[in-house]
Amino acid sequence: MDMPHPSPAILSRRDQIVAGLRALLPGDAVIDDPAETRAYECDALAAYRCAPLAVVLPRTTAEVAATLRFCHDNRVQVVPRGAGTSLSGGSMPTADSVVLGVARMNAVLETDYDNRFIRVQSGRTNLSVTGAVEAEGFFYAPDPSSQLACAIAGNVAMNSGGAHCLKYGVTTNNLLGVTLVTMDGTVVELGGPWAETAGLDLLGVVCGSEGQLGVVTEATLRILPKPEGARPVLVGFASNEVAGACVSDIIKAGILPVAIEFMDRPCIRACEAFAKAGYPDCEALLIIEVEGSDAEIAEQLARIKSIALSHDPVEFREAADEDQARRIWLGRKSAFGAMGQINDYMCLDGTIPVSSLPYVLKRIGELSRDFGLEVGNVFHAGDGNMHPLILYNANTPGQLETCEALGAEILKLCVEVGGCLTGEHGVGIEKRDLMGVQYTPADLEVQMRVKDVFDPRWLLNPAKVFPLDASAGRRAG
C-alpha cells in the first residue's frame, strides 16, 4: 500500500505547527508526544500504520474551525477521525498530517420526539444515539456492527450501513442535517430538522465523502418509533443457488424483513466450532428477521415459511422464545470472531445484484482455490452486500500480499457482475487503487472536482478514495 511521502518542509516546521495549534486550543487538546500519538497511527485496518505529526481533540465547532483555518493557512494536511473503527483506512494518518479527532464532542444537543429527530455532536457513538432516545420508545436505525464504538462523524463520512438497512436504509437516508466545517474554517449549516433542501443537495454529497469535503461537528438524525417486537428464523439449504432463489422470492412477494443474512458452508462450520449455536451442517444458511406485533410477526413468518418450504430447505427453524431467537443470531453475530479464531482475516465489502449471488459464490470458490487461501462468506443477502472473509497468516511472508491480490480479484468480480467495490465500509486507502475498475477517468475527474470546490488545496484527508496517480497533480498544489 503506497502512501505519499511526507513533506520535508512540513516535518521541519513540526515544533512551530504544534506551538501554533497550542496557541489556539486549550492545553489538553493538542497531543504531540510520540508515545501518545502512536494511539492514532491506524484505525481498524490495522495492517497499515503511521503516526501523525500531532493530534488535536477539540470540544467545540469553533475549536474545529480554528484548527482547520490554521492548518489551511499553514498548508498542513488534516486527517479527520471519528472513533477510528474504519475498516478501509479512512482515518489512517501520514507523518506530516494533523489528526483531528472528534471523540470529545459527544453531547446530545436536542431531542424532539414530535418532529422525530435528535441533534448530536458528531463524536457521539452510534449506539449511544439510540441510548439517548430509547426510553421514549425511539431508535436510530443505521446499525453498523461496530455500533458500540463507532462515531456518528465516521458514519456520516462513510455513509455507514448495517444489518437492518434492508428496511431502514443507510446513514444518508436517515440524516437530516449537519454542521460542516470546511478546510478554510468556514462553518456551513446543511439541512435541518425538515425533510429536504430546495437547492442542490450538498448534504447528500457530503455524506459518504470520507472526510474529504469537511469535518462534520454536529448532525441532525432521524429517529424512528421502535417496533413492537422482532423475531428471526433460520433456514438451511443444500445449495447457494437455492438459498439465493429463496431470497429473491421473499423480496418479490412484498414481505419486507428487516434483515436477511446469508452464510456459506466455510463460515457456518467456523461459527459452529466457535460459538456452538447448533447450526445445521449445510451448504447455505439464511437468517431472516421480521418485525411488528406478535400477530404481524406470525403473519410474515407464515409467508416466509411457505416460500422457504417451496425451495425444499434442509432445515426451517423458528424461535419459540427469546432464548431460541438469541441462539439463531449467536453464530452470525460471532462470525467475525470465529473466523479470527482460525487465522488472520481480511473482510471485503463488495455489493452485487442479488441475482448474481450463485455465480459470484462459485467464482469466489474457484479464486480461493487458485490463490490457495480459504474464504468464508457472510453477507446481507437482501441488499447484495457481501462480506467475504479471506483467511491468511500475517506471520507467513507474502501471505498478506496474496490475500490482497485475491481480495482485489473478488472485488473486480463484484463490479463485473454489475455491483460495486464497497457497500458500506468505504474506499479509504484499501480500495483506492481499484477505483479505476468501477469508474472511468472522467467519472473520477468529476468527483475530484467536487473536492476542488470544498477543499481547493486538497489538504483534507487527501490520500484517500482516489488513486494516487489520479490525484497527484491536485495534492501537489
Partner 1 sequence: MQAPGGAQVESAGGCLPPDPEDIYAKMKGAAMRPRSEAEVSEAIRAAAGPLAIVGGGTRRLGEVSGAVVETGGLAGVRLYEPGALTLVAGAGTPLAEVEALLAGERQRLAFEPPDLRGLLGRSGSSTLGGVAAANASGPRRVQVGACRDAMLGLRFVDGRGDVVKNGGRVMKNVTGYDLVKLLAGSRGALGVITEVSLKVQAVPEAEATLICEAGEVAGLALLHAALKTPFDLSGAAWAGGRVFLRVEGLAGSVAYRAGALRTALAGDWRLADGTESTKIWRDVRNVAAFAGKPGAVWRLVVKPTAAAGIVAQLGAAQAIYDWGGGLVWLLTEADADVRGAVGGHGHATLVRSLPGMAQPLLPPEAPAVATLTARLRASFDPRGLFAGGTA
Q: What are the E-state strand segments in 92-214?
A: 97-101, 108-112, 117-121, 138-139, 175-181, 187-191
* Candidates 35-43, 50-58, 363-371, 436-444; binding stretch for partner 1 (CB under 8 A): 436-444
* Selected binder of partner 1 within 170, 347, 390, 403 (CB under 8 A): 170
Stated as kind and residue range, the H or E segment containing 54 is strand 54-56
Q: Give whichever of 31 and 206 is closer to partner 1, judged by the CB atom.
A: 206
* Selected binder of partner 1 within 275, 419, 430, 461 (CB under 8 A): 419
* Candidates 103-111, 249-257, 279-287, 314-322; binding stretch for partner 1 (CB under 8 A): 249-257
* Selected binder of partner 1 within 202, 221, 319, 347 (CB under 8 A): 202
Q: How far apart are CA 336 and CA 331, in angstroms?
A: 10
Contact at 8 Å (CB) between 340 and 332?
no
* Of residues 353-372, those binding partner 1 (CB under 8 A): 353-355
In the chain, what are the helix, strand and coil shares in percent, each to the nearest 5? 40, 20, 40
CB of 446 to partner 1, least distance (A): 5
* Selected binder of partner 1 within 49, 226, 265, 363 (CB under 8 A): 226
Residue bearing cell 429536504: 196
Contact at 8 Å (CB) between 44 and 146?
yes
471 binding partner 1? (CB under 8 A): no
* Candidates 43-51, 61-69, 108-116, 268-276; binding stretch for partner 1 (CB under 8 A): 108-116
* Selected binder of partner 1 within 22, 104, 116, 265 (CB under 8 A): 116
Q: How far apart are CA 64 and CA 417, in angstroms?
A: 43
* Of residues 332-351, those binding partner 1 (CB under 8 A): 351
109 binding partner 1? (CB under 8 A): no
CB of 336 to partner 1, least distance (A): 18
State phi, psi for 285 to the nearest 5 degrees: -140, 135
Contact at 8 Å (CB) between 471 and 458?
yes
* Selected binder of partner 1 within 4, 192, 358, 467 (CB under 8 A): 192
Residues in the chain: 477
Q: Give whichever of 225 and 372 is closer to partner 1, judged by the CB atom.
A: 225
Which residues are CB-contacts of 404 (< 8 A; sequence separation ≥ 6)?
A: 346
Beta bridge mates, 467: none
- CA distances (Å), origin 157, targets 91, 171, 175, 193, 231: 10, 9, 12, 20, 32
What is the 3 state secondary structure string of 181-202? ECCCCCEEEEECCCCCCCCCCH
190 binding partner 1? (CB under 8 A): yes
CB of 364 to partner 1, least distance (A): 17
Q: Give whichever of 36 and 443 is closer to partner 1, judged by the CB atom.
A: 443
* Of residues 266-305, those binding partner 1 (CB under 8 A): 292-293, 295-296, 299-300, 303
Q: How far apart are CA 194 and CA 348, in angstroms?
A: 36
Q: Give whichever of 395 and 440 is closer to partner 1, judged by the CB atom.
A: 440
Tell me the residue type at 398: G
* Candidates 9-17, 26-34, 193-201, 332-340; binding stretch for partner 1 (CB under 8 A): 193-201
113 binding partner 1? (CB under 8 A): yes
Reading phi first (left if > 0) and then psi (alpha if -120 to 50, else beta), residue 207 is in beta
Q: Give whichever of 4 and 292 is closer to partner 1, judged by the CB atom.
A: 292
| Angle, helix 399-416 to helix 357-371, in steps of 10 degrees | 160
Q: How far apart are CA 238 and CA 284, in angstroms?
A: 7
Which cell is 329 given? 443470531
* Of residues 60-79, those binding partner 1 (CB under 8 A): none
242 binding partner 1? (CB under 8 A): no
* Selected binder of partner 1 within 161, 211, 232, 388 (CB under 8 A): 161
* Of residues 121-160, those binding partner 1 (CB under 8 A): 137, 158-159
Stated as kind and residue range, the H or E segment containing 374 is none
CA angle 20, 24, 26 (to 5 degrees): 120
- What is the 8-class DSSP label of residue 351? B
* Of residues 437-466, those binding partner 1 (CB under 8 A): 438-440, 442-447, 449-454, 465
Q: Give whichever of 52 and 388 is closer to partner 1, judged by the CB atom.
A: 388
Contact at 8 Å (CB) between 266 and 338?
no
* Selected binder of partner 1 within 42, 423, 461, 470 (CB under 8 A): 423
164 binding partner 1? (CB under 8 A): no
* Selected binder of partner 1 within 31, 165, 360, 364 (CB under 8 A): 165
Which residues are CB-contacts of 18 (< 8 A; sequence separation ≥ 6)?
A: 30, 32, 53, 54
* Of residues 375-414, those binding partner 1 (CB under 8 A): 380, 382-385
Number of residues engaging partner 1 in binding (CB under 8 A): 94
Q: Give whichever of 35 and 295 is closer to partner 1, judged by the CB atom.
A: 295
Chain Cα centroid distance, residue 96: 26
CB of 287 to partner 1, least distance (A): 18
